[in-house]
Structure 1
């Protein structure tokens, strides 16, 4: 019994040390693992069919493209483009098939998709300040989704300390362009982590 306690205690110390060491750097490079569905879902029926993998990848790309279009429109202070992109993102989320994922991932993805659709719908119907408010939650949803489904795009999670006590967004560029303030403070923010 004492040996078991010693092993557990030692393992806990080693794990804590590894976590502390890995979190030491303030700007983390994170690989959203797995980056491709084929690495994660080897037991799925469509693994041998590249057409099915391509279809999944295109639906994932449509979601990221829709999100990034909203973000870019808000950087440019363009309400109409953000609204149009919000509508496209709703359609992309509707077309996303969660069946290729594990049951726990399906549950998480369904919850994320419901919330992300609500945010995108508000963005498609609202004035700019309201669009920016919904981008904050949408950014969290899309980041959580990417952590599960992966992406072949290099993304940067960026952070503005001033908007609503701190807000993040995803960008395909390492250049900080703030969607929460647009032209008022377009350079306000920093890269928090690199994904992929």
Structure 2
């Protein structure tokens, strides 16, 4: 009788161990041995990036400023997002086609005057749309990576642009850093 009892316990432990292992397995992009946080604590760092060039210096500056803003949201840093948005907005006032950026500038000003990262992120969605429209017509070489998180804004979903195919979610930051998919490459 004791042997049957020990065999039953061994089978139960083995079965539970098998089930636990199945539950803990993660997708390749989610492996914990992949360092995401750098020594500076920046969650936005990726191992690879997609090179892109633009027809104008203005477009290059807009792209760079946008990526800095996205990075602030990935790091869930409302203060940095406000500062970057303020600089981005000021940069738009001196570019040759400043009048084409009025809606974008207004959105950036909203981010710059807010300290609530959730409210800032809502406006960032509109910033992403404006920047995508502008940069799509300015590509010289390479591509823009358009990514999507289906869970953003209570399941409504939202898009953003990236310079990497690796997901760094600006709508959730460290809560769901790699939640999202590459929607398309804009060439």
TM class, shorter-chain normalised?
0.5 to 0.7
Residue of 105, 110, 121 corresponding to 1:117: 105
Q: Secondary structure at the match of 1:188?
A: coil
Root mean square deviation of aligned Cα: 2.2
Give the structure with higher Rg (CA): 2
**Matched length:** 133
Q: Which runs of 5+ in 1 are unaligned?
A: 1-31, 38-56, 100-108
Query: What is the TM-score of this pair, normalised by structure 2?
Result: 0.65
Q: Say whether residues 1:71 and 2:76 are aligned partners.
A: no
What is the CA–CA distance in structure 1 between the aligned matches of 2:182 and 2:170, rounded to whole Å? 14
* Structure with the higher helix share, 1 or 2: 1
1:152 Cα shift? 4.8
Does the CA contact (< 8 Å) of 2:54 and 2:60 recur in 1? no
Task: Give the direction of change, closer, same or farther, for the CA distance of 1:131–1:151 in structure 2 (3 Å limit).
Answer: farther
Does residue 170 (structure 1) correspond to residue 161 (structure 2)? The answer is yes
Equivalent residue number for residue 9 of structure 2: none
In 1, Cα distance between equivalents of 2:105 and 2:174 = 27
| 1:159 and 2:158 are equivalent in the alignment | no
Task: Please report how far the alpha carbon of residue 36 of structure 1 lies from its aligned counterpart in structure 2 after TM superposition.
Answer: 5.2
For residues 69 and 122 of structure 2, the distance between their equivalents in structure 1, rounded to whole angstroms, comes to 12
Q: For residues 134-161 of structure 1, what are the alpha-carbon distances to aligned partners after superposition, in whole Å with 9 as ceiling and x for unaligned?
A: 1001000000111222355642100011
> What is aligned with 1:138?
127
SS of residue paired to 1:97: coil
CA distance in structure 2 between the partners assigned to 1:92 and 1:163 by the alignment: 29
Partner of 2:11: none
Contiguous gaps of at least 5 residues in structure 2: 1-51
Change over 3 Å in CA distance of 1:119–1:152 after alignment to 2: farther
TM-score, normalised to structure 1, is 0.62
